[in-house]
């Protein structure tokens, strides 16, 4: 499993104009193919008079799912260069839709490839990316007397505290890199005089 991956920081749109043709690249972070398809459908509805809505998306921390469509442009001139840009930039869980309003001047195959790939690259630069690290989810159960100090120490040392639940005891859900588990166990035992309980959960990705 991938230790980390890069994805889009936020949804947004970037536009360029080449020989009177407008290319609007809409980018969005997505978790599933259904979310990607919903986004593509949404962009189509927003621009009903545009001639083309070409798309590409990459899903999976390892980039295992990749799809692209030229949507009526000459084969290989739109969706593929868009997908190649996403793969080259090593972004994951992202969908790109480039809406083209034709300006009356034909760009040729080379011009289209440069335009579609280029607007995706510019959109990534404009919107930015974030890196997500693989974490093991850990639940710490501690008494109320020690909970405040434990939570404060976790946050000041940059630990990813995901959730805090107050009941008869306090439960803190934390994300830890796998390599830090042994060190964390020792720190927790020392900080709480061995009174805290630690349960290992599943895995998730979080922002670095």
Domain locations in the chain as residue ranges:
4-127, 131-207
161, 151 contact by CB (below 8 A): yes
Tokens at residue 105, please? 């001047």
Average pLDDT for residues 177-202, to the nearest whole number?
A: 90
Distances (CA, A) of 131 to 2, 126, 190: 12, 16, 32
Q: Into which CATH architecture does domain 4-127 fall?
A: 2-Layer Sandwich (3.30)
Give the Cα separation of 185 and 165 in Å (integer). Answer: 20
Report the first-to-last Cα separation within the chain, whole angstroms: 17
104-145 pLDDT tens trace: 889 999 999 999 999 999 999 999 999 988 888 999 999 999
CATH architecture designation of domain 131-207: 2-Layer Sandwich (3.30)
> In 3D, which of 82, 91, 152 has the Cα closest to residue 117?
82
H or E element that contains 140: strand 129-142
pLDDT for res 206: 76
* Cβ-contact 164, 171 below 8 angstroms: yes
pLDDT band for 208, please (50, 70, 90 cuts).
low
Q: 14: which 2 tokens? A: 């970037």
Sheet containing 65-69, strands listed edge to edge, beginning at the edge strand earlier in sequence: 12-18, 21-29, 94-101, 52-59, 65-69
User: Mean pLDDT, to the nearest integer, of 174-198?
Assistant: 90
Which pLDDT value is given to residue 169?
A: 95
Q: For residue 157, is pLDDT > 90?
A: no
pLDDT at 178 over 60: yes
> What percentage of the chain has pLDDT greater than the value 70?
99
Please write the tens of the pLDDT for every residue from 45-99.
999 999 999 999 999 989 999 999 999 999 999 999 999 999 999 999 999 999 9
Instruction: Determine the pLDDT at residue 156.
Output: 87
**What integer is the mean pLDDT of 151-179?**
89
């Amino acid at each position: 499993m991938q230790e980390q991956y890069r994805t889009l920081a936020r949804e947004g749109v970037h536009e360029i104009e080449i020989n009177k043709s407008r290319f609007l690249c809409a980018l969005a972070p997505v978790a599933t193919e259904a979310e990607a398809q919903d986004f593509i459908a949404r962009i189509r509805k927003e621009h009903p008079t545009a001639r083309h809505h070409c798309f590409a998306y990459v899903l999976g921390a390892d980039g295992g799912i990749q799809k692209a469509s030229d949507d009526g442009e000459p084969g290989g001139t739109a969706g593929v260069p868009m997908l190649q840009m996403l793969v080259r930039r090593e972004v994951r869980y992202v969908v790109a839709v480039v809406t083209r309003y034709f300006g009356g001047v034909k760009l040729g195959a080379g011009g289209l490839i440069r335009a579609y790939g280029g607007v995706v690259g510019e959109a990534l630069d404009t919107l930015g990316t974030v890196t997500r690290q693989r974490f093991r989810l850990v639940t710490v159960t501690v008494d109320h007397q020690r909970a405040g100090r434990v939570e404060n120490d976790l946050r000041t040392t940059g630990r990813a505290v995901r959730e805090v639940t107050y009941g008869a005891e306090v439960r803190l859900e934390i994300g830890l890199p796998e390599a830090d588990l042994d060190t964390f166990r020792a720190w927790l035992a020392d900080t709480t005089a061995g009174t805290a309980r630690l349960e290992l959960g599943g895995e998730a990705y979080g922002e670095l």
